[in-house]
């Protein structure tokens, strides 16, 4: 058990280092954007005195390392500054949208994980059958299509027919049932995109174990193929399956930008796109840092769970 805690500590330190490097990249990338931020906000008719006052207010006269340090220390305390577009605290904007993005990601995960596991197990059980070939062909097709294409196809088939709304409008009065109904199309879009990866990994992991000696022994005992897969192959294939599921969950949280824009879903992705359009650099930096932190955290969870579920890593000789 000590080895597990040591591994968790190492992964945590590595994740913090990665997040620090990502924060430097995010701040540096926004610093390299062309143009004068103060002039973009005030327009071409702004006077030199007004521009100088806004630069002083935004801290643009300070050196880049000083501005980065102020931004990073504020972010660690939950203070991302004030939005340049609507003068509201960025933490308030994010808190209003973060729950929506997490709900959409969990909604898609609740659809994608069971479906991908069932399809992967059945494809491994009926290897080289018509079902296996059809599911693999559909999976490769789903992987090949970009998210916005899948989203617009679903809008064409399901929204224009009146079955589901093409835009998501969430208010304080929206009930949970209405939210499930309105968010079905964006959740289905994300489900179709990530199910293929998880299904193929589940199939590959189980097939890789089917030639093992203990699987052959289980077959010789007369166990049914389904029982062999579920009770003997699947538990030993959990490590790669958990890894790919966690990585796809990270994608569900960080890869919702295009889907949220297509369905006008009020989440962090839509907030980030609006901030880019308004040149609201502080909001872009904050949302990008939150996406990076979510991805690093879920990668850490994937590493820990894949290690715990692998007996060869837990009990080394």
Q: Quick one: CA torsion of 136, 142, 145, 148, rounded to 10 degrees?
A: 180
Give the integer Cα–Cα distance in Å for 271 and 84. Answer: 13
- Confidence category of residue 314, pLDDT binned at 50, 70, 90: low
Q: CA separation (Å) from 48 to 11, 109, 197, 287?
A: 50, 52, 55, 32
pTM: 0.86
Bridge-partner residues for 276, per DSSP? none
CA angle 220, 221, 226 (to 5 degrees): 90
- Mean pLDDT on 293-314: 77
In the prediction, which pLDDT does 50 show? 84
Q: What is the pLDDT of residues 216-249, one digit of tens each?
A: 788 878 888 778 877 877 777 777 788 888 888 8
Bridge-partner residues for 89, per DSSP? 82
Q: What domains sit in the chain, N to C, each tagged with a CATH number?
A: 2-76 (no CATH), 98-314 (1.10.3720.10)
CB–CB of 42/48 below 8 Å?
Answer: no
Q: Token pair of 152, please?
A: 């617009």
Q: Token pair of 315, please?
A: 């009990």
């Amino acid at each position: 058990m000590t080895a597990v805690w040591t591994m968790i500590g190492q992964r945590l330190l590595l994740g913090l280092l990665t997040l620090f490097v990502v924060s430097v990249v995010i701040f540096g990338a926004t610093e390299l954007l062309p143009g004068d931020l103060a002039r973009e906000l005030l327009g071409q008719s702004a006077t030199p005195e007004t521009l100088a006052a806004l630069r002083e207010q935004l801290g643009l006269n300070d050196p880049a390392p000083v501005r980065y340090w102020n931004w990073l220390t504020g972010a660690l305390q939950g203070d991302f500054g004030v939005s340049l577009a609507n003068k509201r605290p960025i933490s308030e904007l994010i808190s209003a949208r973060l729950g929506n993005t997490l709900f959409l990601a969990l909604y898609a995960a609740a659809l994608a994980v069971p479906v991908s596991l069932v399809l992967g197990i059945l494809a491994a059980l009926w290897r080289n059958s018509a079902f296996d070939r059809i599911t693999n062909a559909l999976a490769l097709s789903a992987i090949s299509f970009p998210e916005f294409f899948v989203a617009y196809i679903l809008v064409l088939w399901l929204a224009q027919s009146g079955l589901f709304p093409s835009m998501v409008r969430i208010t304080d009065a929206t009930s949970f049932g209405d939210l499930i109904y309105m968010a079905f199309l964006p959740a289905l879009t994300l489900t179709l995109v990530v199910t293929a990866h998880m299904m193929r990994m589940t199939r590959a992991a189980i097939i890789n174990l089917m030639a093992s000696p203990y699987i052959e022994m289980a077959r010789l005992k007369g166990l049914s193929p389904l029982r062999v897969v579920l009770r003997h192959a699947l538990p030993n294939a959990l490590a790669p399956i958990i890894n790919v599921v966690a990585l796809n969950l990270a994608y569900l949280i960080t890869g919702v930008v295009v889907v949220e824009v297509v369905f006008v879903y009020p989440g962090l992705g839509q907030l980030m796109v609006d901030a880019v359009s308004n040149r609201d650099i502080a909001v872009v930096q904050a949302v990008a840092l939150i996406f990076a932190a979510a991805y690093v955290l879920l990668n850490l969870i994937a590493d820990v769970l894949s290690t715990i579920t692998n007996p060869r890593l837990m009990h080394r000789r």
